[in-house]
Structure 1
Amino acid sequence: MKEYISNLKKVFVVAGAMLTLGSCEIDHAPLDKYTDAAVYQNPANIRSYMIGMYNEFSTFKFGGFPIGYDNATDALTDIMKYTSGISGNGSVNILASDASRVSAASPQLSYWTTGYNRIRRLNEFLEGLETKAQGLDAEAKLRYEAEARFVRGYVYFWLVKLHGSVVLLDKLTTEKDNPRAKEDDCWNFIAADFAFAGQHLPKTWDAVNAGRATKGAAYGMLARTWLYAASIAEYDRKQFSADELTGVPAEKATAYYTNAANAAEEVKKLAAEGLYDLEANFASIFTNKNTKEALFKVDFSRPLITHQHDLGFAPAKDAPGQVLVYGVPTAELVDEFEMSDGSTFSWSNAAMAANPYANREARFSATILHNGSSWKGRTLNTTTADPIEGFTEYGLSSDPKRTVSGYYVKKFLDPLNTNMVINKSDQSWIEMRYAEVLLIDAEAKVKINDITGAKTSLNTLRNKRGLPNTPSQSPAEMMRAIEHERIVELAFEGHRYWDLRRWRKAHIVLNNVRFTGHKGTPNGTSTSYTTVPVDNADRQFTPALYYIPIPLDETLRNNALPQIKGW
C-alpha cells in the first residue's frame, strides 16, 4: 500500500504526540542538509534534529513492511490473507507462495539501505552531541544520547531480525569495508542501546515533549530484544544456516530469558506507579490516543498528518468502489478466539457451529467483522448473497476489493470515520503495548521455570480480557497457551511472522499448506458455513528464509561483507 505520510518540514509525528517545531528558525531546507553549525549551535535546533529521527517508527506502522508497496507481514502467516493476486497490493501473496523469489539480488524483505542511512545519521548526531553541541548541560546530553540510542536500537532490531549477522557501527567511520558481527554480538549491541536508554530517559515528558521515548518504552524494547535473542539460542541451534556468524549459543538461552524477564519487571514497576495499565475495553485501545496500554506509539493528527489504514482495510460498503480491502482475517485466526467462558471454540460442536459468532470472547468482536456484525449503522452480509461486500473466491478477480475469507479486519478501524476518502485516518500506531510486556514476561518466566510468575502475567492479561485463568500447568502447556494469547491479543500488530521465525516454526506452519476462510451461504432463515481455501497455491517457507540475504549490491560495495552462507 502507498505511503501517505507527508514530508514535513516543521512537524514530526513521534510516538505518543505531535511535536511541533514552529519555534525553529530553520524551515527552508531539509534536516539532512543542515550544516553542523546550524544544528548544534543552540538547543532548539538540536531538539528539532532529534525529533526528526523519530520518523523511523512510521516505517513499520500497522505491521507493514516495504515489499514494493507496504504489505502487512501478517499476510505471510496463518492469520491474514491479502485479497489481491497482482504485484503491488498482492506482493505479499506472491512472496508467501514462492520462496524462490527471495535472492541476494532481490531479498524482497529489505531494510538494509534505509536502516543504515538512519544509523549513519544517528551516529552523526551522537558525535555532534559529544563534540559540537552548545547550550546543553550534562544531563540534557545524556538524555539526547539515550533518545538517539533508543532509535538506533530499534533500527538494528529490524536489521538483525532479518539477517541475524549485520555490520555493527557504534560511531561514524570513514572505512568503506566493514565486516558482519556475530549474531549474538548484534543482540547484545541492541540490548546495550536500549539498556542505556532505559537508564537515562525520563519516566514521562511534559506536554510539549509528549511522545518522545521514555524509560518504559526503552525497557519494553529491551525485554523484546532479550526474548528474541533467547529464542534464537533455544530454537535455532545452527540447524538452518551454515554461516559461522549466525545463531546464538544455546547455553545462553537461560541467561537471556532471565534478562527479558528482568526488563519486563522494570516496566511492571512503572505500571505499579500508575504509568501503564491494561484497558478494560479492548476495542478502545486502538482508537483512544490516551490509552494507558501504550508504552510507545506514533500519533497522527488531521488534516496534515494522516494515514490510510481505514481506506485500506474497511469493509467494501464503507466507500463502494474506493475501499481497497487489502487484507482479511483467515479462518485459522477466527477459530483461535475462545468462547466467553474460556472454552475452546469448535465447529465440531453442533451448538457452536449453529451460531458461530455468539458468546465469543470480547477480543473477537473487537478484532473481527463477520457476517451479522453491526458496523456503521448496518448489518454486514459477508455471505455469497452480497455481490459488493460478501464472500468471493480468491483468484476469481485479480484485485476483488472484498473479502475472500468471509471476514474483515475490525481492529484499528475507526467506527466514527464515515468518510475515510476525504478524512483519511488518524488512529495511533502503537509500537509497544503493556499487554505485550506481560506476554514477554510470561514466556521468559516459563523458560526459566518460574511457572508461578508466568501464570501471574498471563492470567493478569486474560482476566482483564474477561477470561478465566489458564488451565495450563506444565511448561509445554504454558507455551501453547502463550502462543495462543499472542495470536489473538496481538493479531494484525505485526508480530505473528516474526514469532514463528524466532520459534523456528515458520518452516512447519507456513510451508506446504493452504489457509482457509468460511464461505457463508444463505439457507432460508439461517446461514451455513463451509471451510474453503483462501490460497490457490501452497504456501512456501524454506529454512533458508530464517536469514534473509544481504542485498547483493551491498556485498559488492563492501569488500569485508561476505554474503550469508546459503545465498
Structure 2
Amino acid sequence: MKLKIYSLITVSAVTMALSSCKKDFLDKQPISQVTPDVAFADAAAAEKLIQGVYDGMYNDYHIMDFMTNGDATADNCYAGGDNPDNIQIDLFKVVNTNANVTRDYTALYKDIKNANLVTDNVPNIQDPKLDVNDRRKQILAEARILRAYMYFNVVRLFGAAPLVLKIPSTTEEFSPPKASVDAIYTQIITDLEYGAANARIAAPNKGLMTKGVANALLAKVYATKANPDWNKVSTYADAVIGGGYSLVTNYDFLWDQNHKNNSEAIWEMQYDGWGGLHGNWMPSQLFGAGWKKFNTPTNDLVSTFDAEKDVVRKKSSILIDGVGWDDDYWKNPAVYPHVNKYRADDKTDTYLIRLADIKLLKAEALNELSASGWSAAATIVNEVRNRVNLGVTPAADQASMRLAIEKERRLELAFEGHRWFDLLRTNRAVTVMNAQKDGNGNSLNYNISTANLLFPIPQSELDRNPNLR
C-alpha cells in the first residue's frame, strides 16, 4: 500500500504501512516472511505485540530527551554541549524545525502506534490460552497504560494534538485534526482507569506495567490537568503508597545500580548494556573528558542544594571531578558540575516514576485540600528529608508548605525529568524562569511569557497534515 504524502506521523509513527508493516517493530524476521494472519493468530503473537510496545520505548525520547525536556527547559540544567537544538530548548527559542522536538513528537506517536496495534488486534485473537488468568485483559491494560503515558507527555509538551486511538485506514484518519487538551486528558484517564482495574499487581521487573504504575500516573494526571482534583490525587497516591512500595533506606542505593528494581521503583527502564537487549547511551553524554557534555547542572540548583545543606542528595546527583570547560555559566573548570545519577555507563537503569515522587504528591494534595493540611503534609515531607539526614521542614502554613514541597521535589527528583512539568502545573514556570541568575547574580534574561511554555508542532508534521494548521 502506497501511503499519501500528507499523512501525519500517523504514517511513520501511528502506522507503518497497514498491509505489511504491522510486525516491523516486533521481530528481526523479514517483514515479507510474516503475514498479518500469522502475526495475530495466537497468544504468542499477542505477547509479541505488547513486547513491541516496550521495546519501542528505547528511543531518544525515553533514553535522554525526557531529562532535557524536564530539567534543561527548567532551572535544573543548562543545555551544555554545543547542539543548537538543545540550546534553543534551554533559551526558550524553540522553532518548529528543531530536530529534538521533531524526533520527540515522532517517538511518542510511534509508541502510540505500537500501543494501538495491541488494542486493535488483541481483542480479536481467538486463542483460549490468552484468557487464562485474564492475560488478555492484562495485555490490553499494559498497552493502554503505556498509551496514556505517551499522551500525557504529548499534551504536556505540545498541548492540543492529534488523538489517534486506532491504526488509520481511511484518508481522513491519516490526517487527523488536533484534539483539545481536555479531550486528550479524558482519554488518558479512561485508559489509566482500565489499566488500574485490569493490570497485574506485580510483574517480573519494574519495567512492566502494573496497577501501581496506573495509579501513580492517575495521581500525576489529576495533579496536572487544568483545575487539579486534589481529592483524586490523594486517593490514587494512597493506592500507590499502600501498594507494597517503600523508600529505600539509603538515597544513593537508587543510583549505584546495585539495587535495580528496588522497593521504591514503580516504573524503571531496564538496561542491560549493548551486549544485551538494551543499552543506555545517556551516561556517555553527561560526564567524561574529551568534549563538553550535555545537561550541565545550573548555578541555581547547586546553590539550592548548598543552602539547604543537602549534602547527601547533592553528592548523589552532582559530580565534580575536575573535568570541565570555561563557558557562559561555569567559568572555573575545576568546579564544573556533571549529572551523577546515571553512572553505570550502558547498563544504567532510569526511573520514570518512583515512590518519593508520589509521596510528595500526596503531601501536596493534603496541603491543597485544606488550610490546615500543611501539618499532615509536613509528616510526609519530613519522611523524605529524614532519609537524607535533613531536619524537619520549617514550613508552618499552607503558603510556605506549597513552596517547601516545590523545593523538596526539585532536590529529591533532580535530573529525573519532572521539574519543568512541576513548574507548568503549578503555574510557576514564568515566575521561576524569569528570576534565574548566573553564578555572579546577573539575570539570565529569559523574559518568557505563557507563549513560551509549549513546544510547537514540528514543521514536518504541518507539511504532512494540513489539518494541524
TM-score bracket for this pair, using the shorter chain length: 0.7 to 0.9
Which residue does 2:446 correspond to in 1?
539
Shift of 1:106: 5.0
Shift of 1:558: 4.0
- What SS does the aligned partner of 1:204 have? coil
Task: Tell whether 2:285 aligns with 1:285.
Answer: no
Alignment of 1:151-550 (within 5 A): 151-173=146-168, 174=170, 175-176=172-173, 177-205=175-203, 207=204, 211-229=207-225, 232-233=226-227, 253=228, 256-271=229-244, 276-286=245-255, 287=257, 288-302=259-273, 303-304=275-276, 305-316=278-289, 321=290, 324-337=292-305, 344-345=307-308, 360-370=310-320, 380=321, 382=322, 389=323, 392-394=326-328, 403=333, 406-414=336-344, 424-449=345-370, 450-511=373-434, 513-516=436-439, 531=440, 538-550=445-457
Alignment of 1:88-103 (within 5 A): 88=83, 90-97=84-91, 99=93, 101-103=94-96
User: Is 1:289–1:427's contact at 8 Å kept on the other side of the alignment?
Assistant: no
Cα distance change of structure 1 residues 312 and 54 upon mapping to structure 2, 3 Å threshold = same
Shift of 1:393: 3.5
Greater mean alpha carbon deviation, residues 54-63 or residues 177-186: 54-63
Which residue does 1:46 correspond to in 2?
46
Q: Name whichever structure is richer in strand by fraction.
A: 1
- What SS does the aligned partner of 2:197 have? helix
Cα distance change of structure 1 residues 52 and 468 upon mapping to structure 2, 3 Å threshold = same
Task: Give, in whole Å, the separation in 1 of the partners of 2:106 and 2:54.
Answer: 17
Task: Give, in whole Å, the separation in 2 of the partners of 1:333 and 1:153.
Answer: 31
- What SS does the aligned partner of 1:467 have? coil
User: Is 1:278–1:292's contact at 8 Å kept on the other side of the alignment?
Assistant: yes
User: Is 1:75–1:93's contact at 8 Å kept on the other side of the alignment?
Assistant: no
Cα distance change of structure 1 residues 185 and 404 upon mapping to structure 2, 3 Å threshold = farther
Cα distance change of structure 1 residues 33 and 326 upon mapping to structure 2, 3 Å threshold = farther
Task: Give, in whole Å, the separation in 1 of the partners of 2:377 and 2:58.
Answer: 32
Q: TM-score, normalised by structure 1?
A: 0.69
User: Is 1:41–1:133's contact at 8 Å kept on the other side of the alignment?
Assistant: yes
User: Is 1:309–1:413's contact at 8 Å kept on the other side of the alignment?
Assistant: no
- What SS does the aligned partner of 2:262 have? coil
Q: Name whichever structure is richer in helix by fraction.
A: 2
Which residue does 2:461 correspond to in 1?
554
- What SS does the aligned partner of 1:180 have? coil
Task: Tell whether 2:83 aligns with 1:115.
Answer: no
Task: Give, in whole Å, the separation in 2 of the partners of 1:458 and 1:33.
Answer: 56
Shift of 1:258: 1.5
Shift of 1:392: 2.2
Task: Give, in whole Å, the separation in 2 of the partners of 1:513 and 1:52.
Answer: 42
Structure showing greater Rg: 1
Task: Give, in whole Å, the separation in 2 of the partners of 1:126 and 1:472.
Answer: 47
Task: Give, in whole Å, the separation in 1 of the partners of 2:325 and 2:161.
Answer: 44
The aligned amino acid for 1:291 is: N
Deviations 1:363-402 (A, max 9, x none): 12222234xxxxxxxxx4x4xxxxxx256243899xxxx9
- What SS does the aligned partner of 1:430 have? strand
Task: Give, in whole Å, the separation in 1 of the partners of 2:71 and 2:366.
Answer: 26
User: Is 2:248–2:254's contact at 8 Å kept on the other side of the alignment?
Assistant: yes
Cα distance change of structure 1 residues 538 and 107 upon mapping to structure 2, 3 Å threshold = farther
Task: Give, in whole Å, the separation in 1 of the partners of 2:330 and 2:222.
Answer: 45
Deviations 1:329-348 (A, max 9, x none): 2221112226xxxxx45xxx
Shift of 1:265: 0.7
Which residue does 2:131 correspond to in 1?
137
User: Is 1:514–1:539's contact at 8 Å kept on the other side of the alignment?
Assistant: no
Shift of 1:143: 0.7
User: Is 1:149–1:196's contact at 8 Å kept on the other side of the alignment?
Assistant: yes
Which residue does 1:35 correspond to in 2?
35
Q: Sequence identity, in percent?
A: 25
Please, which runs of 5 or more residues in structure 2 have no aligned partner? 1-25
Shift of 1:485: 0.6
The aligned amino acid for 1:76 is: T
Shift of 1:405: 6.0
Task: Give, in whole Å, the separation in 1 of the partners of 2:38 and 2:284.
Answer: 40
Cα distance change of structure 1 residues 93 and 556 upon mapping to structure 2, 3 Å threshold = closer
Which residue does 1:76 correspond to in 2?
73
Shift of 1:38: 2.4
The aligned amino acid for 1:330 is: T
User: Over aligned residues, Cα RMSD in angstroms?
Assistant: 3.1
User: Is 2:434–2:446's contact at 8 Å kept on the other side of the alignment?
Assistant: yes
Please, which runs of 5 or more residues in structure 1 have no aligned partner? 1-24, 234-252, 339-343, 346-358, 371-379, 383-388, 415-423, 517-530
User: Is 2:266–2:355's contact at 8 Å kept on the other side of the alignment?
Assistant: yes
Cα distance change of structure 1 residues 183 and 335 upon mapping to structure 2, 3 Å threshold = same
Shift of 1:114: 3.3
The aligned amino acid for 2:396 is: Q
Shift of 1:142: 0.8
Task: Give, in whole Å, the separation in 2 of the partners of 1:392 and 1:552.
Answer: 35
Shift of 1:194: 1.4
Task: Give, in whole Å, the separation in 2 of the partners of 1:98 and 1:455.
Answer: 35
- What SS does the aligned partner of 1:199 have? helix
Q: TM-score, normalised by structure 2?
A: 0.82
- What SS does the aligned partner of 1:328 have? strand
Cα distance change of structure 1 residues 474 and 513 upon mapping to structure 2, 3 Å threshold = closer
Deviations 1:271-305 (A, max 9, x none): 3xxxx111121111022213211101111113233
Task: Give, in whole Å, the separation in 1 of the partners of 2:33 and 2:302.
Answer: 49
Shift of 1:190: 0.7
Shift of 1:63: 5.1
The aligned amino acid for 2:339 is: V
Task: Give, in whole Å, the separation in 2 of the partners of 1:191 and 1:117.
Answer: 20
Shift of 1:438: 0.6
User: Is 1:98–1:540's contact at 8 Å kept on the other side of the alignment?
Assistant: no
